[in-house]
Structure 1
Amino acid sequence: MAATFAVVDDDLASQRMLADILNTKGDVIAEFSSGHEALRFFESGRRVDVCFIDLLMPDISGIEVVEKVLSMFPETLFVMISQVEAKTLMAKAYTAGIEFFIHKPINRNEILAIAERVLEKQRLKSTLEQIEKSLAEIRALKPVKDYQPNEQVIKKRFQGIFADLGIVGETGSRELQAIVLRFKDHEEELINLPLRSIYQAIAGNEEEIQSIEQRIRRVIKQALENIALRGLEDFYDEYFERYASKYFDYAEVRDRVLELRQKRTSSARINIRKFIIALYMDVLHDI
């Protein structure tokens, strides 16, 4: 059965563009120009697999819609889209229950990649639910211990990602790894805490915090440069498609590709929190 989507955006051009893109991955069965219209749809008992929703709308915010819908249909997956880059709003959106936060302008490759990722998560969840159901009787007889991710698996995931990004062996990479492991069971803190507090969690002393921040910023900039170089050669490069929009702000990667073509120095900014959260999700989720 084809996946079903809904699109909520008061900008009709963005709404239409999103619907056209998502129709290549499944069926867009509902489009709304306001949060209240979307709520009426869900309150009527109808639902979709994935809802792409704007953050700021005239009547009600996307975050409020997400919270209300998830209280009715917790299995619905939400992807939020906005021009806003305020970290506090992004953190609230993730706390409300969204899967991903995408910055406008809309990029086709980014939308398709994220749609596929959330649908894969849904398929995996469905499979796991079936397994859980099949094992219910066995668990009743003999409780199953909570599964702990194998350390070797986690280590290989870190190595694979850092190798793809061209930053294996860098000090900053080791500190990124330390942050992910430090917050392994505290995902919400990682999303909400100020970056300084995150660095402090792995620092030996106060003086070391600034050095950690500098090394992490430097290694993420190097990763962005390496991915941009791949995009310079081929926008459909496997690693460019995998990392450009997920680990970085796609607009910054695209601008850096243009700078490389014109042989100009980098003016790209980096989103450290987005990189860390993407790394956390890839390494620790779905293990």
Structure 2
Amino acid sequence: MELRLAIVDDDISIRKMLRRIIEDTGLGIVVTECSDGILAEEVLRVSLPDIALIDMLLPGQDGVELITRLSTERLNISYIMISQVNSEPMITRAYESGIEFFIHKPINVLEVRSVINKIKESRKLRQFMSYVHQTTSQFTGQNPSAKVDGENKHKSAIYRTFSDLGIIGEAGVKDIYALIELICANQRQDNESTYQLNELYGQLSQKLNQDAKAIEQRIRRTITKAMQNLVNLGVEDYYNEKFQNYSSSLFDFKEVRQEISFVNGKSNYHGKINVKKFIQGIIFIAGQAG
């Protein structure tokens, strides 16, 4: 289904530019525009877009206030803030209000496309996780052999991904798989899509009778190795199929670019991994196999 987007900015030239980027590049359709922070509150409630791009400095009420008020209503809108502001405290405040990404002005076409595509991907993941909650709860009444077949397909897909990433022999692979099993088991019990990694590490520690910190370190080392292997593929051939498939679905692509810069000697800093994104990506891949 096509993404529905809204643009809230008091600068008509910015609204026109964003609309053109969105529609000319096939990112979705712009269902509404607004120039006032107070008016936008009702406009977004009525139009219910998938994504709202909101300027930080608006007449009436600023973008942070607007998003803070709407976030309490759980409208299933993903928020992107756009602004010239470079103040770290203000940007932090924006993220605390509920935004998913911050885009700096002047508008960059590639950045807008990248951010909207990332949100599209994350929304698909959330939809899939919701689907997992609904379907896994039905396993109790299923034919046991059908359940086993489904689990085997998912396990094969997960380990095939590990193989593609060159980490099949890493010690942390078993920990990652155990973590995925634990997440799915917890979701079957309470239908809750959110989870804290620290709590899961604690549960794994009890289950495996091993130190939670050691488990976390093995998982992080293995995911870091996966990123490094993937980046090496991308450095040799940017259009490598595995690099294209996994670089944004399992990692934050800006961190992949950072790791590429490190490998090419253009930076002294490695790219950073996001354990939660990696795990969610793996679960999504496994779901597609089912």
Asked if Structure 1 and Structure 2 have the same fold, meaning a TM-score greater than 0.5 normalized by the shorter chain, the answer is yes
CA displacement at 1:227 relative to structure 2: 2.2
Q: Which moved more, 1:245-254 or 1:103-112?
A: 103-112
Equivalent-residue separation in structure 2 for 1:219 and 1:2 (angstroms): 36
Structure 1 residues 250 and 120 mapped into 2: Cα distance closer, same or farther (>3 Å)? closer
Counterpart of 2:31 (choices 22, 29, 32) is: 29
Per the alignment, do residues 253 and 182 of structure 1 end up closer, same or farther by CA in structure 2, a change over 3 Å counting? same
Question: How do 1:163-182 and structure 2 match up within 5 A?
Answer: 163-182=163-182
Instruction: Give how far 1:113 is off.
Output: 3.8
Flag structure 1 segments of 5+ consecutive residues without an equivalent.
71-76, 129-143
Give the CA deviation at 1:34: 6.4
DSSP 3-state at the match of 1:203? helix
Determine which of 239, 244, 249 is the counterpart of 1:246.
249
Q: What whole-Å deviation, never above 9, does each CA across 1:162-188 have from its counterpart, x for those lacking one? A: 223222232212111111111115458
Specify the alignment match of 2:183 in structure 1.
183
Question: CA 1:279–1:259 in structure 2 vs 1: closer, same or farther (change >3 Å)?
Answer: same
Query: 1:65 matched to which residue of 2?
Result: 70
1:115-167 residue CA offsets vs partner (Å, 9 max, x unmatched):
6647878999xxx9xxxxxxxxxxxxxxx957968111211221232223222
CA 1:2–1:58 in 2, change beyond 3 Å: closer, same or farther? closer
Deviation at 1:114, TM superposition (A): 3.6
CA distance in 2, matches of 1:229, 1:102: 27
State how far apart, in whole Å, the 2-side matches of 1:104 and 1:68 are: 24
Q: Letter of the aligned partner of 1:60 in structure 2? A: E
The worse-fitting range, judged by mean Cα deviation, of 114-123 and 217-226 is 114-123
Give the TM-score normalised by the residue count of structure 2.
Answer: 0.65
Given that residues 55 and 61 in structure 1 are in contact (C-alpha distance below 8 angstroms), is that contact kept between their aligned partners in structure 2?
no
With the length of structure 1 as denominator, give the TM-score of the two structures: 0.65
Amino acid aligned to 1:208: D
Distance 1:200 1:123 in 2: 27
TM-fit CA distance, 1:257: 0.7
Is the CA contact 2:252–2:273 (under 8 Å) kept in the aligned structure 1? yes
Question: Amino acid of the residue matched to residue 5 of structure 1?
Answer: L
SS at 1:183 equivalent: helix
Distance 1:234 1:108 in 2: 25
Q: Deviations over 1:175-231 (max 9, x none)?
A: 1111111111545867442x3322111124775212111111111111111222233
The offset of 1:241, in angstroms, is: 3.3
Greater Cα offset, 178-187 or 50-59: 50-59
| 1:21 and 1:112 in contact (8 A); partners too | no
1:199 is matched with: 201
User: Deviation at 1:20?
Assistant: 4.2
Cα displacement string for residues 35-64 of structure 1 (whole angstroms, at most 9, x for unaligned residues) = 644322134x4344x214469754525354
Q: How many residues align?
A: 251
What is the CA-CA distance between 1:253 and the residue it aligns to? 1.1
Q: CA deviation at 1:238?
A: 3.2
Q: Are the counterparts in 2 of residues 53 and 81 from structure 1 also a CA contact under 8 Å? A: yes
CA distance in 2, matches of 1:79, 1:14: 19
Say if 1:8 and 1:52, in contact at 8 Å, map to a contact too.
yes
Q: Within the alignment, does 1:40 sit opposite 2:39 as a pair?
A: no
Where does structure 2 lack aligned partners over 5 or more consecutive residues? 57-61, 82-87, 105-109, 132-139
Distance 1:207 1:121 in 2: 31
Taking the aligned partners of 2:214 and 2:126, their CA distance within structure 1 comes to 40
1:107 match: 111
